Amino acid sequence: MLDFERASMNAFKQVFDQFSLMNYFFHLCQSVQRRIQKSFKIKYRTDKSFALAFRLVVFLAFVPLEHIESAFEALSMHIAGTYPELMAIVNYFELTYLGLAQPDGTRAGTKFSIEHWNHYEMVLIDPDYPRTSNMVEGFHLGFKCKVNRPKPSVQEYFRAVRDQQVTTDYHLDRLAAGMTPAKKRKTTNHVLYKICEDFIEYSSVLNYMFKVAQYFGHEI
């Protein structure tokens, strides 16, 4: 799992070509939201329907790959009919993450492959897989607290590494002794799994996307 940085993605594919690469859903949301903040900051915060219409585009990440085109077409028509000013965001998303449609029905090359940011299959394979980098950032924050200053000396750095290794060994020993790890924070990932699993049961792909939006906290 990586963010949307071309250099790191290319480096990963060169070194770990046997593994699949995925982009974080959180960073997909961030990249689109940065566009909205430039022109519609106040309206986004005060108009819930407007905020939902804007965010619908990122929920294409949970549409099956074979239905992406029909979902994008339905979404474009919905937004054009309700908030036409948001078509600039839709066009940006198409250019960056889908590729411009060609006369022959194909799409031009895009900066980021659909397979890298679409999470539908991953939800069905493992509902608890991370969609954000929170775990890694949490570890970095904890390690930063051990170092305790921006530019530590070599001795301070290695002392922090040693302390972190002691903590890691402690947890590994507990697991080896059959002790259960600390309880995970309760999640609702099973709800998203059920929504994705029931994709074909929805009357339209747009209704399905509304349900995904509802899962992520948007009132319909």
pLDDT digits (tens, 9 = 90+) for 132-169: 655 666 666 777 777 777 788 888 888 888 888 888 88
Whether residue 179 is predicted with pLDDT greater than 80 in this model: the reply is no
72-88 residue pLDDT tens:
999 999 999 988 988 98
- Predicted TM-score (pTM) above 0.75: no
Mean pLDDT of 5-27: 74
Most confident of the ranges 18-27, 78-87, 106-115, 141-150: 78-87
Task: Concatenate the DSSP letters of all residues of 112-172 into one string.
Answer: S-HHHH--HHHHHH-TTS-SSSHHHHHHHHHHHHHH-SSS--HHHHHHHHHHHHHHHHHHH
d(CA 78, CA 165): 53
- Tally Cβ neighbours within 10 Å of residue 89: 21
Residue 62 confidence (pLDDT) = 94
User: Cα-atom radius of gyration of the chain, to the nearest Å?
Assistant: 21
> DSSP label at 18?
T
What distance in Å separates the CA atoms of residue 190 and residue 165, rounded to the nearest whole number?
A: 33
